[in-house]
Amino acid sequence: MKKLLYIARYKALAVLLLLLLALAPAMAQNVAYTGDVTTFAVEQQDGDTYEWALYDNGTGNFATKTDYCPATSAIFVGGVNIGASVDVKWLKAGIYFFKVTAHNITGCTSNLKVGIIEVKVKVTAVITPPDTAGVCIGLPVSLEVTFTGTAPWSFTYLSIDIDGVSTTNTVTNVTDNPYMLMIDPLPGKTTDYWISKVSDLYGTNLEPSIKVTQRINPLPDPSKIIHR
């Protein structure tokens, strides 16, 4: 009921809801993620065939609507949109509508149903917190970055040292997961790092990751070594 009320907020759908008859409900999750495949299904009725359609907007009358979802946003897997069950792959984040129409044995139809699904960006990137003991100044520093989503990845990371000096760097075409980020030039001061942007094959996430701190330890003052 909650989903139907949400659909009814779209003007064109409020009329369409009056047309819905006894077709078994199309079952779908409310949320999917870019790169995922969602299965839509209805209960097969004797003699009926089913045709599915996807839309990337809620305007117009879904009984006659022909401005379908572009193939750059979502696709029927294998190009198959006929059957009691179909698979859809999501390529772009957004709000989508799906329609299933039932045809009886004579090919006639007066039975259809519409649903709604939100597709979110799946890609994330996080930096693994380094050893709290830190490293000695002058030694190499590497940070482990772990991704979700689909390769290849690109990401932008920011850093700010204890004196407030900040830098921004971008790494592109990453295929390793996890990925070892080598810090260059070698840091001379304790520095915070975080990722401000990450992209994968299907989308971009601008939500900053949690900051991690790479501690840099100074070398001790030189002292004389006396041999006896």
Q: pLDDT tens-digit profile of 102-129? A: 988 776 666 788 999 999 998 999 999 9
Residue 11: pLDDT over 50: no
Please state, in angstroms and rounded to a whole number, the distance separating the CA atoms of residues 162 and 194: 15
What CATH number is given to the structural domain containing 89?
A: 2.60.40.1080
Strand partners, 155: 171, 198
* Residues 67 and 105 placed together within one structural domain of the fold: yes
Question: Is 32 found in the same domain as 104?
Answer: yes
Q: Are residues 208 and 130 in the same domain?
A: yes
Entry pTM:
0.70
Which residues constitute the domain of residue 40? 2-120
Which of 66, 98, 120 represents a domain boundary (last residue)? 120
Model pLDDT, residue 63: 85
Q: Please, which pLDDT band fits residue 30 given cuts at 50, 70 and 90?
A: confident
Q: Answer yes or no: do 10 and 87 share one domain.
A: yes
In a domain, 141, yes or no: yes
Percent of the chain with pLDDT over 70: 80
Mean pLDDT of 48-54: 94
Query: What are 183-220's pLDDT values in tens digits?
Result: 876 668 999 999 999 999 999 999 999 999 999 988 77
